Amino acid sequence: MNFRTEINIPKNKNLIDYNSKIVLLGSCFSDSIGKKFHYFKFNTTINPFGVIFNPVSLEKLILRCLNNQKFSKQDFILYNEKWQSLDLHSQLAQTDLDSAILIANQQLRQTKKQLLEASHIYITLGTSWVYRYLKKDEIVANCHKIPQTKFKKELLSVTTVKNSLQTIIKNIKKSNEYAVITLTVSPVRHVKDGFTENNLSKSHLISAVHSVTNNKDILYFPSYEIVMDDLRDYRFYKSDMLHPNQIAIDYIWRKLQNSSIKESVYTTMKKVASIQKRLQHKPFNPNTKKHQDFLKKLEQDKLELKKTTNIFF
């Protein structure tokens, strides 16, 4: 008797290898999967504007990049002694306004280049719940702990999410017609909205995503379904019982690898993983001959990998 329901994901047509250029944007789940690509030394860009949860804010940032719409002082507010943009994550906030503008525009330029050159773009949506900044009547990416009286909470309709995704896809494809865009919905529960409200939010995202995919170059990766319908157990969550733990992330990564990465690079990935593990090794006594031999072999393997694949450590 089979005691689990495993999700089988068909192989993509345009597979990833070490010549691929990968951009991941969206929720914190993009960070988790992006770190796996980065660990295996793929050419990876992960959330250059920080974590962005909702599709409208992602649309706004992607259009800014592609249309060269630079940030200016009007895009920042001073709060808690830092200049913050409501369109960006707080990790880009600065104590100096000029620095905040400079860094934001540097990220715009770099991200535009990466979007234009990307072979594969992953967009992870986190929520349909958004906050509208009342002063400007605009949906924001981050409230930066500014008093909630300054905002109005709203639920994006399926149509609004769909329109944002269509705009994102249209503009990326206009600039980079060969990019494979993979959409996914974060399995992280947003319980601050409420459990019922979280399910409503996710359903809007899933409905919208499935209305724009084509199984060719606009794909869907079922990370949400893998956690909810395949793993579905508290042992696959962190202590907050909301975020998938490392075991779950590793499992999702294997599903993604099997469906999206060329088998011909699996051997190289194993070599990279071997070097990564040895780089994390902490010896009891670094002065022993055994450890010196270990380091010598490690350097030899790094050099060999660089020669054969151009992968640097």
Domain ranges of the chain: 21-222, 262-313
Tell me the two tokens of residue 7.
């999700």
The pLDDT tens digits for 177-225 are 999 999 999 999 999 999 999 999 999 999 999 999 998 899 999 999 9
Query: Would you state the pLDDT for residue 195?
Result: 96
Query: Would you state the pLDDT for residue 272?
Result: 98
Cα torsion 12, 17, 22, 27: sign: positive
Q: Does domain 21-222 have CATH number 3.40.50?
A: yes
Residue 135: name the closest of 122, 123, 145, 147 by CA. Answer: 147
The pLDDT tens digits for 104-113 are 999 999 999 9
124: left (phi over 0), alpha (psi -120 to 50) or beta: beta
Ranges of residues in the chain whose predicted pLDDT is under 50: none
Query: Would you state the pLDDT for residue 286?
Result: 87
